């Protein structure tokens, strides 16, 4: 959905509310902080209401500011409905679709999906944003994306789950690494080797800290990075091992670059992957078709993973 009818002032208001400061919003939107400050000041002057409370921890939206955020969301969803009607008039063979996906899917699921869409719908334009799972789900709820492929999506009542599958936690290692021949591995064994941990930027880190936080303290030698691609490269080099799900490394496993060893701990975290959309936005035939392609592609990949 590339039709954006939401006024800039409301877009700025949303970003400041999401990020907690004008400076962070300016960096995210790639504009000057003074431009955002002027727009918010104008909104407050025009409405006669304070839209944010300035606190030591950042800018917190007031109840009056929340009313404006609700209006911005309604405006965005109406723009999305208008865009879907325009798309319907073009038919499924033409049009544009926007989706969000995780960084870990960038070298596997996403290219496979794009190829399938290009083969079946050659005149359809696809726009993809790589986001954190949380931001992808929020973007769908705000009407910014037609669909998203995310991990551990929140159980929001306004989300439609078209597909959902669980993927157990496992250790990835280069074929020559000592643990590569093991059938399973305990986390105690995992932390006895040099390991690569995901930074807080990557969603799986947050879930690992909740369920298995002790591993970050007990690891004898660890490197922390914010790039799934770099994690795979460090592991493939042979010295380090890492924790992830089989879906995240399916291309590397299929190519023989990495091995996946399931974690044996009884309470091991399981990552869920979902295809989601917003139930409040009308789904055109094009959107339904692309969702169907995404579900079929993920189902196909999942079947191949089950044989790992």
pLDDT band at 1 (very low <50, low <70, confident <90, very high): very low
**CA–CA gap between residue 72 and residue 143 (Å, rounded):** 11
pTM: 0.69
Residue 105: predicted pLDDT: 86
Assess contact for 51 and 13: CB atoms under 8 A: yes
Q: Residue 122 pLDDT > 70, yes or no?
A: yes
What are the phi and psi torsion angles at 306 (to 5°)?
A: -60, -20
Sequence spans of domains, the chain: 1-90, 165-272
E strand residue ranges, the chain: 52-55, 58-61, 94-101, 123-130, 147-151, 159-173, 195-198, 222-225, 241-245, 259-262, 270-278
Q: Which of the 8 DSSP states describes residue 108?
A: T
**CA–CA gap between residue 249 and residue 6 (Å, rounded):** 38
Q: Residue 208 pLDDT > 80, yes or no?
A: yes
Q: Which of 183, 171, 194 is nearest to 258 (CA)?
A: 171
Q: Residue 219 pLDDT > 60, yes or no?
A: yes
Long-range contacts of range 233-239, CB-CB < 8 Å, 24 or more positions apart? 234/196, 235/172, 235/173, 235/174, 235/196, 236/174, 237/174, 238/174, 238/176, 238/177, 239/194
Task: Give the mean pLDDT of the chain.
Answer: 88
Asked if the 1-90 domain carries CATH number 3.30.230.70, the reply is: no
Q: Residue 84 pLDDT > 90, yes or no?
A: no
pLDDT band at 180 (very low <50, low <70, confident <90, very high): very high
Q: Residue 250 pLDDT > 70, yes or no?
A: yes
Q: Residue 92 pLDDT > 60, yes or no?
A: no
E strand residue ranges, 174-297: 195-198, 222-225, 241-245, 259-262, 270-278
What are the phi and psi torsion angles at 5 (to 5°)?
A: -105, 5
Residue 224: predicted pLDDT: 95
**CA–CA gap between residue 124 and residue 256 (Å, rounded):** 34
The region, left, alpha or beta by phi > 0 then psi within -120 to 50, assigned to residue 20 is left
Residue 233: predicted pLDDT: 94
* CATH number of this structure's domain 165-272, picked from the four choices 3.40.50.300, 3.40.50.720, 3.40.190.10, 3.40.640.10: 3.40.190.10
Overall average pLDDT of the 89-100 stretch: 73
Residue 172: C-alpha distances to residues 216, 294, 303 (Å): 17, 26, 19
Overall average pLDDT of the 259-263 stretch: 95
Q: Residue 101 pLDDT > 90, yes or no?
A: yes
pLDDT band at 305 (very low <50, low <70, confident <90, very high): confident
pLDDT 10s digits, 135-155: 899 999 988 899 999 988 888
* DSSP code per residue over 238-273: TS-EEEEETGGGHHHHHTTS-EEEEB--TT--EEEE
Overall average pLDDT of the 47-56 stretch: 88
Give percent above pLDDT 70 in the chain.
94
Q: Residue 195 pLDDT > 60, yes or no?
A: yes
Residue 269: C-alpha distances to residues 166, 187, 243 (Å): 10, 11, 10
Residue 163: predicted pLDDT: 96
Q: Residue 308 pLDDT > 60, yes or no?
A: no
Q: Residue 216 pLDDT > 70, yes or no?
A: yes
Residue 77: predicted pLDDT: 75
């Amino acid at each position: 959905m590339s039709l954006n009818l939401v006024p800039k002032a409301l877009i700025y208001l949303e970003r400041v509310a999401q990020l907690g400061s004008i400076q962070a919003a300016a960096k995210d939107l790639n504009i000057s902080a003074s431009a955002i400050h002027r727009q918010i000041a104008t909104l407050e002057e025009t409405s006669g209401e304070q839209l944010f409370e300035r606190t030591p921890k950042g800018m917190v939206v007031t109840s009056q500011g929340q009313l404006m955020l609700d209006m911005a969301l309604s405006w965005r969803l109406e723009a999305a409905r208008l865009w879907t009607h325009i798309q319907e008039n073009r038919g499924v063979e033409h049009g544009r679709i926007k989706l969000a996906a995780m960084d870990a899917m960038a070298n596997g699921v996403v290219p496979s999906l794009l190829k399938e869409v290009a083969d079946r719908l050659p005149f359809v334009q696809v726009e993809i944003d790589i986001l954190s799972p949380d931001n992808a789900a929020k973007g769908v709820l705000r009407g910014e994306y037609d669909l998203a492929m995310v991990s551990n999506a929140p159980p929001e009542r306004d989300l439609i789950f078209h597909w959902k599958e669980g993927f157990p936690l496992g250790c990835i290692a280069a074929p020559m690494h000592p643990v590569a021949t093991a059938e399973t591995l305990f986390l105690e064994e995992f932390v006895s080797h040099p390991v690569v941990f995901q930074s807080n930027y990557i969603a799986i880190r947050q879930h690992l800290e909740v369920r298995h936080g002790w591993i970050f303290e007990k690891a004898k030698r660890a490197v922390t990075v914010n790039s799934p691609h770099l994690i795979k490269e460090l592991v493939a080099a042979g010295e380090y091992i890492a924790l992830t799900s089989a879906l995240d490394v399916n291309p590397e496993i299929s190519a023989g670059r990495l091995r996946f060893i399931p974690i044996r701990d009884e309470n091991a975290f399981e990552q869920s992957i979902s295809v989601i959309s917003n139930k409040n936005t009308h789904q055109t035939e094009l959107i339904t078709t692309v969702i169907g392609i995404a579900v079929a592609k993920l189902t196909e990949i999942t079947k191949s993973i089950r044989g790992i």
